[in-house]
Structure 1
Amino acid sequence: MLNNQLQLKKLITLFIIIGFSALASSQVYNVKDYGAIGNATALDTKAIQEAIDTAFKAGGGQVLLPPGTYKVGGVELKDNINLHISAGATLLGSELQSDYIEWDSKAESRTTIYANKFVVYANGAKNISISGQGVIHGNGDNYFQITAPQINRPFLIQLVNCKNVRIRDIQMLESANWTCHLLFCENVVVDGITLKNSTRANRDGLDIDGCNNVIVTNSIVHSQDDAIVLKSSGNKVCKNIKISNCIVTTEASAIKLGTESSGGYQNITISDCTIKDVPLLSGLSIMSVDGAILDNLQISNIQMENVATPIFLRLGNRNRPYKTGEYVPTIATVSNISFNNITAINAKYPSIMAGLHSKKISDITINNFSVSYIDPFEGPFVEPNKIPFNDMVYPSALIFGRNLPTYAFYVRNIENISMSNISISSKATQKVHPFLFDYIDNLKLKNITADTFKKDGSIAYLRNINGLTASEFHLKNGHINTFTIEKDNCSDIHIENTSKGSVINEIPALKDEQLYATVMATTIFDIDGIIKNKPIESINKFEVEGALKDEPLPYHNLKSPLKIQFKIEGEPQSTPQLCFLVKNKNSLSSEKNNYLILEYEGVEQKVNVEWNRWGWASLTLSKKIPVGSKIKFKLAQEHSDLLISKVYLRYLNLGYTD
């Protein structure tokens, strides 16, 4: 840990030297010298902007806000400007929409749909900083309570395509929308800030979006919505991010990657953070659901307290494009994730790690993980074979409901996962196993201690396991069964060195029942932030009739083209997406032959079906289709072994933020 802290300090120092040397001997521009009043009533936008512009023309400098409350409708930072808000000073966002300047960043990002008003804004600026012991206040606690349309509510800060950015010591309070949005920025240090929002509805804390080389440290973030969020809302990868020594509280997700994940994530480090009081969702929420890569995530030395779900890790298949006229032709890849030294006290629900039936998450390591439960996980519990895949629903810790048949870990569709030095305890009597593993290739378990309560209690329930190496198990309540195993669907199982032998409870395999639901669901947040499940707007669907003996599902071979007609019935602002239940009987064939090709209205779109198990592919229509139109679709791939069983039409709201 000491070496990591020294490395972090060196990086911060380097950023400061490189990025802010231009400000070392800069002149001070007091906003009161330019006519600012600072009485919380007069609009000081023009005066503060004049001070910034004057400093910029002179080559840079410090724009100083002395004690007072300066109401603005948005100010724009420019090259080599340090906005210094002194102790006793508040930069206050106006309560009137009409006072705000509207900016169009022209960024290739979904966020342009719902963001054009900001208290502080910069676009393409270099060597900029916001500092001081003062406050930037968004007036969102008393105003801007009408949540939709979201674009009517100002962000507190948005910095777009900026390089060499430093935000230090400042307080950010009560934003009317996202609080601090860093979009496509490079070389950023956020150090010692305090961020607090007490109102719900899209009021994230710190959003790091498609950025490169960002350090966030020594900060306190309290938000009713997601607190510290890594996004990739355009086609740029969010990479080389370090988050450390932060205290985070929220009613949503505390530290989150996703859900807007078009560009992907690489080389992310999260360490030495405290997460507490997260009653609804998850402490660590990690996902890629829009077709992009998530690779090399290292999480260590995290303490959680009163967190509903400690860890939520998800590979999903929503495949929502970041702008209209585009579509996502691939499924995301999630790999190389490590959790080390994680402690959770008073958790409520099991951690969830779930890939897709058609594509697994790969290479997960969990070492030194301790979690305790104070309340019983009540149920009623769904059977292990009846847990739906929910591939395309909104990803959150509630994705499978609150009745999973495990109280500590639900792990499904992962290849190469190692768990060691794991301690699971509960003060309350639990009715289910601590662990449930399903559809796992190469599972390694070592030194696992857990409370089990049922008479035939096992540490883990295993089904669809291909390769298990397990040793050093300790059941704390006098039970002797180490595992409950569905014997007909598990293979290559090796168990040794348990505290009371290695007794296995073998049971017959259960047939999966709800993997491909006839009517999919989409999950949304209502304006109070409570998650609800709603059926999709359209039940437009095509299902092949009649089954063949060699497949569990009826199918059509796409060597013979399939023609379907659907009626477009969604709202005018929604975008149709076709969802296909498909598999490739020969996924080792050339990539060219793996594409499912969709043709309609003179348009051709295609998706790479590289999997040999039944799974969903989805294509958002790139051509705008008028509501009420009946469209004929053709599906084909004459040189492949693609099989198709179902086609559904659903609708995406591309204007809705995650």
Structure 2
Amino acid sequence: MSSRLRRTLLQSAALLPALPLLRATAASAPGSRSPLPMREVQASAPFDMPPIRVPDFADAPRFDIRRYGAATGDKAATTKAIAAAISAANAAGGGRVIVPGGTWLTGAVHLKSNVGLHVEEGGVLLFSGQPEDYLPAVITSWEGIECYNYSPLVYALDCDNVALTGKGTLKAELDVWRLWYARPKPHMEALVALYQHAVHNVPLSQRQMAQGEAHLRPQFVQFNRCRNVLIEDITIRDSPFWTVHPYMCQDVVIRRVDIRAHGHNNDGVDPEMSQNVLIEDCIFDQGDDAISVKSGREFDGWRLASPAKNIVIRNCRIKNGHQLLAIGSELSGGVENILVENCHFDRGDADGPVKGTTLVEINNILYVKTNERRGGYVRNIHMRNVTATSIAGGPLCVETDVLYQWRNLVPTYERRLTPIDGLYVSDVRVAEARFVCRIQGDAGLPVRNVTLQGVKVGKVRDQAFNVSNVEGLVNT
């Protein structure tokens, strides 16, 4: 068990009954007897970017879910079979769980160490839209606050050497999740209660959110406190909440993934408090941000104190989405050393991602957002060689008073400003935008050291530069 997870679990004696189960999971991963081959992936960057180690399952034993009783159209049998195949691969010292061609209806999938889930071309893993299929609740988070909630559809906790691969498709049924997008009054009350838990450092075991009408939707894919994670070639369609969420992970490669999800809060990838991450050659078609780097909300972010760090994003196409890269607004643990390069933001299919749907508004290329409560820091952010068509915002936007619904939900219990230092944007070309650069810094802590070099907008609809409380702005 990792020291991070142990610290979290030991917050309260009430969590002790869960410890034997977690220990058994870790002990049942005999990777030391038969370690999987590892690959090192190097991503060059204008900061010290260490090689990223990910598992290689190419020659690993195969565990076909049909051997364990999977049957098309039988959710219970397939869910049980996938779990059995994962356990068998884990017990064997490592293996690849195979989802063959066809459509396989399932509930939650929980990976274990040294196991890769591989969906073959023509295969569709169709995830039930019924919340009860994602119980019992698991350790997860909601917008930067830790809690017990419905299990993410694909989930791994405290695992080493895990993968999600193949040219098949993961698809979420949205029957109930779509209804939960509305966020009615009981949901907002649950968010306030969860926030109060964090303010008062309530033990994680008491933050039970998968009950009543809290309606906190789960992430589609969450790797929680995992090491050596590979997500490659897979197609993902629709999502209850954030689509791919590496949470407090080390060494992550997300490569050639095709995501389309246009529901509420449907970000593409949200690396949160994760380090040494490469996202490359992906296609994003989102109802929210394509990529959003995060590091926890206020009290939990400060408690966990794990920055999002060393993240390279390259060679990606964004068909739709609010931002190419958002940083925040949950950034209380800090964000540093980020590179975005050779990415292209366009409208994709002219009629929308799906016939009969509308395109979302493209806002900004790089958007840094925080507020007086967040604390944390943002530093050493690089973006280069990026293009876009027509956007509602601009190439660079920084706002330090973004609170959304939280402005009226809870008061400011502790005021901590966010130092923002070192934003470097070069060779960005946009056909049409509202502005080139908009920075609204806080008067008490100006944004520092912003460089724009070769940033070109063909048509500017408003004031090109609208900046306040900035020190060291260079535009060449």
Normalised TM-score (structure 2): 0.73
Contact 1:214–1:241 (Cα < 8 Å) also in 2 = yes
Say if 2:475 is the partner of 1:419.
yes
Q: Report how many residues are paired.
A: 379
User: Hey, what does 2:333 align to over in structure 1?
Assistant: 263
Q: What is the CA deviation profile of residues 111-150 of structure 1, one whole-angstrom value per residue up to 9, with x for unaligned ones?
A: 4359533210001010011100001111237853332347
Of structures 1 and 2, the one scoring higher in RCO (CA 8 A, sep 6+) is: 2
Which amino acid is 2:338 matched to? I
For the residue of structure 2 that corresponds to 1:98, the secondary structure is helix
Contact 2:428–2:455 (Cα < 8 Å) also in 1 = yes
Say if 2:280 is the partner of 1:246.
no
User: Hey, what does 2:343 align to over in structure 1?
Assistant: 273
Contact 1:39–1:68 (Cα < 8 Å) also in 2 = no
Quote the Cα distance in structure 2 between the aligned partners of 1:328 and 1:165. Answer: 36
Cα offset for 1:39? 3.2
User: Which residues in structure 2 correspond to 1:172-571 (within 5 Å)?
Assistant: 172-199=236-263, 201-233=264-296, 234=301, 235-277=305-347, 279=361, 281-289=363-371, 290-314=374-398, 316=400, 328-349=414-435, 351-373=437-459, 377=461, 406-420=462-476
Quote the Cα distance in structure 2 between the aligned partners of 1:255 and 1:115. Answer: 27
Quote the Cα distance in structure 2 between the aligned partners of 1:115 and 1:299. Answer: 35
User: Hey, what does 2:110 align to over in structure 1?
Assistant: 76
Which amino acid is 2:365 matched to? G
Which amino acid is 1:210 matched to? M
User: Hey, what does 2:204 align to over in structure 1?
Assistant: none
Quote the Cα distance in structure 2 between the aligned partners of 1:198 and 1:109. Answer: 18
For the residue of structure 2 that corresponds to 1:140, the secondary structure is coil
**Long gaps (5+) in structure 1:** 378-405, 421-658
Q: CA distance change for structure 1 residues 304 and 40 in 2, over 3 Å: closer, same or farther?
A: farther
Cα offset for 1:328? 4.2
Quote the Cα distance in structure 2 between the aligned partners of 1:361 and 1:58. Answer: 53
Higher helix share: 2
Contact 1:144–1:153 (Cα < 8 Å) also in 2 = no
For the residue of structure 2 that corresponds to 1:55, the secondary structure is helix
Contact 1:137–1:156 (Cα < 8 Å) also in 2 = no
Q: What is the CA deviation profile of residues 552-593 of structure 1, one whole-angstrom value per residue up to 9, with x for unaligned ones?
A: xxxxxxxxxxxxxxxxxxxxxxxxxxxxxxxxxxxxxxxxxx
Which amino acid is 2:221 matched to? I
Which amino acid is 2:391 matched to? V
For the residue of structure 1 that corresponds to 2:86, the secondary structure is helix
**Long gaps (5+) in structure 2:** 1-40, 188-213, 348-359
Aligned counterpart for 1:27 among listed residues 35, 40, 61? 61
Contact 2:140–2:147 (Cα < 8 Å) also in 1 = no
For the residue of structure 2 that corresponds to 1:154, the secondary structure is coil
Question: What is the CA RMSD across the aligned residues, in angstroms?
Answer: 3.0
User: Hey, what does 1:121 align to over in structure 2?
Assistant: 155
Which amino acid is 2:471 matched to? E
Q: What is the CA deviation profile of residues 455-500 of structure 1, one whole-angstrom value per residue up to 9, with x for unaligned ones?
A: xxxxxxxxxxxxxxxxxxxxxxxxxxxxxxxxxxxxxxxxxxxxxx
Quote the Cα distance in structure 1 between the aligned partners of 2:277 and 2:420. Answer: 21
Quote the Cα distance in structure 2 between the aligned partners of 1:113 and 1:258. Answer: 20
Cα offset for 1:204? 1.6
Which amino acid is 2:315 matched to? N
Contact 2:119–2:165 (Cα < 8 Å) also in 1 = yes
Quote the Cα distance in structure 2 between the aligned partners of 1:106 and 1:143. Answer: 17
Say if 2:118 is the partner of 1:62.
no
Contact 1:291–1:332 (Cα < 8 Å) also in 2 = yes
User: Hey, what does 1:552 align to over in structure 2?
Assistant: none
Normalised TM-score (structure 1): 0.54
